[in-house]
Amino acid sequence: MELEAKLHDIKKPIMVLGTCSGAGKSLTVTAICRILKNLGEEPIPFKGQNMSNNAWVDWDGGEMAYSQALQAFACGINPCAEMNPILLKPQGNSLSEVIHLGKSIGITTAKNYYQDWFIPGWKVIKKSLKSIYERNPNCRLIIEGAGSPVEMNLIHRDLTNLRIAKYLNANCILVTDIERGGVFAQIIGTLELMKPDEKKLIKGIIVNKFRGDLSLFEEGKKWIESKTQIPVIGIIPWLNDSFPPEDSLDLIEKKSRFSNPEIKVGIIKLPSISNFSDFDPLENEETILIEWIRESQNLNKFDFIVLPGSKQTIKDQIFLEECGLSQDIKNYSNNKGNIIGICGGFQMLGTSLEDPFLKEGSVSYSEQKIKGIGLLPIRTTFFENKLTRQINSESLWPCHSKINGFEIHNGQTELEYTQTLVNIKPLFKDLNLGWYRENKEGGTIAGTYIHGIFENDNWRDQYINLIRKSKNLPTLNKKSIPYKKKRESIIDNLANEFDKHLNITSVLN
C-alpha cells in the first residue's frame, strides 16, 4: 500500500521551517528529538535534501549529512541514510556530487540540478518516507527544512520544505533568528509569501537566539500573535553550544570556550574542507585551544597541527602550495612539529596525488598528477568508485586500542617504495587505514583515513599525552569523560534549555 493511503494513521509529523539559513532549524530539531524521546515517544529525524560536506557513514556504508546523524543520536537510534535521502556535496565551480539513499549517483551543475534531478529526487524522498514508516509504524517524524521555504524562484522545484510539509500534512514550526535583526519582517514576509494551504500548516513560531531578559520581548510576542494569528510557542535564549556548524564558512566564527589552555592546536582551514565534526572531541577538551589557519604563517606556536578532510583534495593541495602553507608545514615538521592528516589531509602529506578520472578537483591535464607535501612516503591515486564504510580496527600507535570510525574517500594510498622508508610504520592493524613516522630530531607525522578518530577516547588521550610529554607537561592520568557521554550531555543540556522555553505539546496533535 502506498504511503498516501496510510497518512491518516501515522502520528502527526512535526516540521521545522526557517525564515532563513542559519535560523537554528538543525539544533531545534535535535532538541525536539531528545525532548520527545524523554517523553516516551519514538522520534525519527528526517531531512529530504541537505547540502553539506560534513558527512556521516551509516552501518550499511551509506552517506548522509552529519546533522541528521546527530539528530538520530538525540533520538537514541542509529543513523540511517533514509533519514537524509538526498545529500548534495559541493565541489566548487557550481558543481555538486549527488547522493541518493547513501550512494553517489552523479555530478550536477547548479543550473541543471532542478531540471535533471527533481523528479528522481522526489521519488527517493517518498521511497525513504515509506520505508521509515513501514519499519517504524509508531514513530513521529521530526523533519528539518532547508534555508527559506519561500525562495520564489525555486519554490516550484523545492524538495525540502513545503512540498514535504503538504505531502505529510505536517504540523510546522517557523523558526526565526532574532540575532540577525528584522525578526518581525522575517516572520511576516515568510508567511505572506506562502499560499493559504501552506500557511495553515504553520502551528507555531519560535524566536531563536534571544540575548538578555526574555520578558523584554513580551510586547513583541503579542504583536506577532495578533498579526499572524499563530502562537509564539517559544522564545529561545542564546545558547553557548558546541555543536558543529552546518557550513564550513561558520568555522571562522567558532571559538574555543576555554580560557587557560595548555595545548594549542592549529587546524588548516582548507577551501574545500569536509567532515569538520571530526574536531568536536578536541573542542570539548578543557586543556586545548583550537585555532583555524587560513593563511601562510609561522606554525611553531602550535603544539600540533591537523590537515582535515577535503572534498577537492587536488585543488586544496594546490591552494596549500600557492599560498605558502605547504612550505610552512614542512618547516614546522623540520622544527620537531607534530602533524596529523585525516583522509584528504592524509593524502596531501604524501609524495604525489594522481587523479586520472578527475574525481578530486583537477580541472586540466597538468593537475591530474601533482606533488604532495612530501612528509610521508606514500602516493595516492583517485579511482572512480568511492569507499564508504564503518571501521572497527585496532591502533598500534600511540597505544594499542580498539578504534571505531568511518571512511569516505575515492583515493587508494600505498607506500612509495622508491623512497627510503625511514621509520614509517602502520598506525593500525588494518594497513590501509594509515601510517606514521617519528622524526629523528623530534616530532611525529601521522595520517589516517578514519573520520572520527578523535572520538576514540583512549587513542585521543594517549596522543594528547604524547604532546604533553614533548612540552614537559605532566601526563593527564585521570580518566577523561568519554566523548560520546559528553555529546549526550550536550544534547541533554540543549533539550533542557529548549524544554524550559518551548511549548512543544501544543503541536503534537
Residue 83 · residue 72 · CB < 8 Å? yes
Query: 505: Cβ–Cβ under 8 A, 6 or more apart, which residues?
Result: none
Backbone angles phi, psi at 260, to 5 degrees: -125, 65
**Closest by CA position to 253, among listed 272, 274, 276:** 276
Cell of 170: 505536517
Backbone angles phi, psi at 282, to 5 degrees: -75, -35
The helix (H) or strand (E) run that includes residue 466 is helix 457-470
Distance CA(84)–CA(45), nearest Å, equals 9
CA 64 to chain centre: 9
Local structure of residue 259 (DSSP, 8 states): S
Please count the CA atoms within 13 angstroms of the CA of 17 that sit on its side-chain side.
31
CA 4 to chain centre: 32
**Closest by CA position to 162, among listed 320, 54, 18, 273:** 18
Concerning whether 451 is annotated as a catalytic residue, the answer is yes
Tell me which residue has cell 596549500.
Answer: 320
Residue 434 · residue 340 · CB < 8 Å? no
In three-state form (DSSP H/G/I as H, E/B as E, the rest C), the secondary structure along 323-362 is: HCHHHHHHHHHHCCCCEEEECHHHHHCCCEEECCCCCCCC
Residue 304, beta-bridge partner list? 265
Catalytic residue among 75, 80, 100, 451: 451
For Cα atoms 400, 291, 177, give the angle at the middle one, nearest 5 degrees: 115
The helix (H) or strand (E) run that includes residue 108 is strand 103-109
Starting from the edge strand earliest in sequence, which strands make up the sheet with 86-92, in order? 49-51, 86-92, 95-100, 103-109
Query: 60: Cβ–Cβ under 8 A, 6 or more apart, which residues?
Result: 80, 81, 102
Catalytic residue among 80, 139, 343, 409: 343
Cell of 354: 594522481
Q: How many CB atoms lie within 10 A of CB 127?
A: 15
Q: Among all residues, which ones are annotated catalytic?
A: 343, 451
